[in-house]
Structure 1
């Protein structure tokens, strides 16, 4: 009897277990099938971001100025890492040492990340293939399951500090933070893709597993108006001038006045965009990365006289036969304004006023214009406004409002004092005169190009736009003739070149600094020396602006900046034939 009861009990238990197993099997395979499958997939599947390749930046002839190379990133699943530590009885320090050795980095920095109070963390980005191969070997040898290798990009500037203020730089995420990299970030960056792949227990992709992938769309390339040969020459020339004159900074701009394209742009001191921070403080970084040609304003001095002269010629208020007397000074509203030649230039023609850079003669011309007309041309030439160049942070400078302008303000503004301008604005004014009186849009990028491998898919013109007429072609020709007579036909001038008909204007301006009494005023020791010109005057192909901040020893633009201009023209002539 006992045996039968035990037998029946055993049978009942087996039947019950079978029913429970069948029920569980039904639940797993039918009721909860989708949910369980999803959980399983989540455990073995990983979403991997496929970063888009950032577009290259090229000079006008196709030379690569900024490029992107494929790289890797290393992430850590810290939840899995903590479980591993408890199961294997190893310390975080031991893993940090191993990982740091493979990466060639600081063990303390890796340890800080491994012990962070997060579920996951980035260990390192921008890792090259040779390094990531060492990490893969480590994962295999140590049976590591908490490290995940992903894809990344490295932005590379092959020429180092060359053209740094124009190109700018990117942050660790590959987004532009300065220069063209920032201004054209949306154009350059492309659209990242996504890959869902099955992984083994060491977070390695299973080669035989199916992969769901949305490919990345690479960014557009930018083709600049910059000419690598011209840029290289003016970079070297600027470095020499910085050393020779012990200057605080130098800016040089070279452009094609007919298109508005910038052929070269240098600012010194500069920086390496591959490593712009380089152990610098925020203040040091901000100062060094400022594009002074675009971001900074200064009193231009006598280079601004080209605006006063061209306005008066355009209005028909002066001509080449007019004479102006200079005793060495002029009083305006009771304020004495001296000429550069204290005993005066005496009687002069219009051309001689420009050639002598006579303050008195220029003020007499400005008085013929009057405040309203003078300021109308200041506005037409886009002073006090952004030129619209394709770089961030452009300054407007400061000019007098007509309603607030006094007679003495008209006088000082006409000779390049009181108002402030950017180097870019001065180049823009000269370009307008040099291009037959038409203001062409200043720009650095000629076109945007989308490529699929080596094949061009799409192309967009970003550079040349319709110009705006500011002065007549006749006034333009007369101004170029006056500037040629002042420089190109003047054998005694430092910018004179025997076989090339150059034109231009010098500038020497006292800097406004903080004086000993704490007030702001003009310095007797610090000057801005500049030269603005181009060639050939009959059909200008190139224009140049040189600005030297606080040269030591000599300060006059004709001595400091004009010889730099001359060397640039001689070099460009070999390239573009300016005769």
Structure 2
């Protein structure tokens, strides 16, 4: 009996040892780089426990402006010091002499260091190329002068660029074959999200050394530099943003204290975004607290800017010419107009933004075809596939930008309702379009009716600057407005600014000649008590310039402001003037 118990106990112990041995083999031989459902790299984690490291570059690809200058990071020449210096004699005086600082300043920083440090901390001491060379010539172990990447505190066009974050589950959902590193990040919004697969890091570049339990050097003072083996990666994304114009327009937005809204500037010839400003601004440490939304890609109520589409449809379909007059002493219901203008034609109606004209035309057009306004919005590049979309490697219809879908009617039932159609004709009711679409519509008119998809990225580059993939200029397929209609709209939109009765004479003093359209959209919202003085509007101006030789299309919107605040004309004019100054530097 006693022997039987011993045998059983021996078998149990043997099985336990076998199970433990199997588990150890599993951890140390088979799952070393992809442990558990989180695919943890055990080799990296074990090394991390006995090393101290300073990351020089986290390895994720970056964003560049149209000239190849970095948007999301800066590079600085810095001095790196390792804490084991406090345990040895080293020529601190020679390093201090190169930096022109007291030796005691450097020595104090080393004594306080718990890990590898950059001299100067949050405001690193910037070295010249000559100082870097002198320090590295000294060949002091634990003292390095190198170029390090620093994340920009403020990223131009931050909502368009987007943000990154750490999310293990989402990482493995997107990239089931990849092993997540300790600091691996993924794109959460904007271009960071769209181009994540090209940008995701393979390996960090870092300085490391091994330490014992007390933080002392384990194998002497041998510091190693680890970097990705492939010199072509990570990839960088070259955007179409002009950093100088972007910063200039951001300054305008902040000067006029835009709380919600922004500006979007397009290069008409290339159909590229030069600047995209959205407010409220994104907070670097808490991007989703209210500043992450890119209102330039959101569908908003356009108000009278939409009258441009109604005019185009009416001209193209032959139901209006300049001989026809409209009773602009009346509002859209036949009552007295708030601002009477008498009997006027289509040209003057656009200049003064007469509601009655476009309510009547909208009803006539929808009686002819209840989808005709939708069709012309597409013909003008206002709604539909406005942003660049195409085949890229294994992606079909890869979208550069995530743009809200615009609409003219919310349901087919509204198309037959006369009162709703009247409101639709003046850009109210359920009309929702994006600032991007509006800017593209203005570019389409300026080009004589040709419509193109708008690009935010021109190419994906290898780390050495050569092109991996370029995004060609792409036409928007389908019908367009006629050249004659485009020519007439050009004249009419110019009249908004330069005719005696136009709504935007303020813009006559701008540095470039402007053609465009005003919009004051009722939002149905109020600030506090529901009285007229507290009603909130979206104030718009959209246009192109210079009128004689169009180069730029620009849209500006100031959202949720009362009728007596948030004037849009100074915002638009100062933006145009800023572009002019940059063009003439």
Q: Select the residue among 305, 325, 332 that pairs with 1:330.
A: 332
Structure 1 residue 350 corresponds to structure 2 residue 356: no
- The answer to whether the Cα contact below 8 Å between 1:434 and 1:480 also exists between their aligned partners in 2 is yes
Specify the alignment match of 2:156 in structure 1. 162
Pick closer, same or farther for the CA change 1:264–1:338 going to 2, 3 Å. farther
Does residue 231 of the first structure (1) align with residue 271 of the second (2)?
A: no
From the CA coordinates, give the structure whose radius of gyration is larger.
Answer: 1
Take 1:376 and 1:55, find their aligned partners in 2: how far apart are those partners?
Answer: 40
For the 8 Å contact 1:234–1:252, the answer to whether it is kept is: yes
Equivalent residue in structure 2 for 1:440, among 429, 435, 452: 452
Among 280, 302, 305, which residue is 2:304 paired with?
Answer: 302
Structure 1 equivalent of residue 386 of structure 2: 387
TM-score scaled to structure 1, two decimals? 0.66
**Do 1:528 and 1:550's aligned partners in 2 also have CA atoms closer than 8 Å?**
yes
Aligned pair 1:554/2:548, yes or no? no
Q: Secondary structure at the match of 2:513?
A: coil
Q: Is the 8 A contact 2:315 2:485 kept in 1?
A: yes
Residue of 177, 180, 186 corresponding to 2:191 = 180
1:154 Cα deviation (Å)? Answer: 6.3
Contact 1:170 1:176 in 2 (8 A): yes
- Cα deviation for residue 392 of structure 1 reads 5.2
* Deviation of the 1:447 alpha carbon: 1.6
Instruction: Find out whether 1:497 has 2:509 as its counterpart.
Output: yes
Aligned position for 1:429 = 441
- Normalized per residue, the structure richer in strand is 1
Pairs within 5 Å for 1:129-148: none
**What SS is found at the alignment partner of 1:546?**
strand
2:61 to 18, 41, 55: 55
1:309 deviates by: 0.7
CA RMSD of aligned residues (A): 4.3
User: Partner of 1:375 in structure 2?
Assistant: 374
Secondary structure of the residue aligned to 1:388 is: coil
Question: Which secondary structure does the structure 2 equivalent of 1:513 belong to?
Answer: strand
CA distance in 1, matches of 2:198, 2:73: 14
Distance 1:427 1:502, change over 3 A: same
Q: 1:402-451 CA distances to partner (integer Å, 9 max, x unpaired)?
A: 73222222211111101122222222222221222122111211122113
In 2, the alpha carbon distance for the partners of 1:46 and 1:131 equals 26
Corresponding residue SS for 1:238: helix
The answer to whether the 8 Å contact 1:193/1:215 transfers is no
User: Would you say 1:511 and 2:511 are equivalent positions?
Assistant: no
Cα deviation code 1:482-517 (max 9, x no counterpart): 111221344971111377431011111122227999
How many residue pairs get aligned? The number is 447
Distance in structure 1 (CA, Å) of the matches to 2:532 and 2:383: 22
Aligned to 1:363: 359
SS at match of 1:64: coil
What secondary structure sits across from 1:483 in the alignment?
Answer: helix
- Number of the residue aligned with 1:404: 413
Paired residues for 1:92-107 under 5 Å: 102=113
**Further displaced range: 209-218 or 316-325:** 209-218
Matched, 1:470 2:480: yes
TM-score under structure 2 length normalisation: 0.65
1:171 is matched with: 165
Q: Distance in 1 between matches of 2:520 and 2:225?
A: 68
2:36 alignment counterpart: none
State the alpha-carbon separation in 2 of the partners of residues 223 and 531 from structure 1: 29
Q: Are the counterparts in 1 of residues 71 and 155 from structure 2 also a CA contact under 8 Å?
A: no
Unaligned ranges ≥5, structure 2: 1-24, 30-42, 83-109, 123-147, 167-182, 389-398
Q: CA deviation at 1:305?
A: 0.7
| Rounded Cα–Cα distance in structure 1 between residues aligned with 2:510 and 2:248 | 22
CA contact (8 A) 2:536 2:563 kept: no
Report the counterpart of residue 570 of structure 1 in structure 2: 577
The 3-state SS of whatever aligns with 2:72 is strand
Quote how far apart the aligned CAs of 1:523 are: 8.6
Given the alignment, which residue of 258, 265, 270 partners 1:259?
270
Is the contact made by 1:56 and 1:221 (CA closer than 8 Å) also made in structure 2? yes
Q: 1:63-102 alignment to 2 at 5 Å?
A: 63-67=69-73, 102=113
Judged with a 3 Å threshold, the aligned counterparts in structure 2 of structure 1 residues 491 and 353 are, in CA distance, closer, same or farther, namely closer
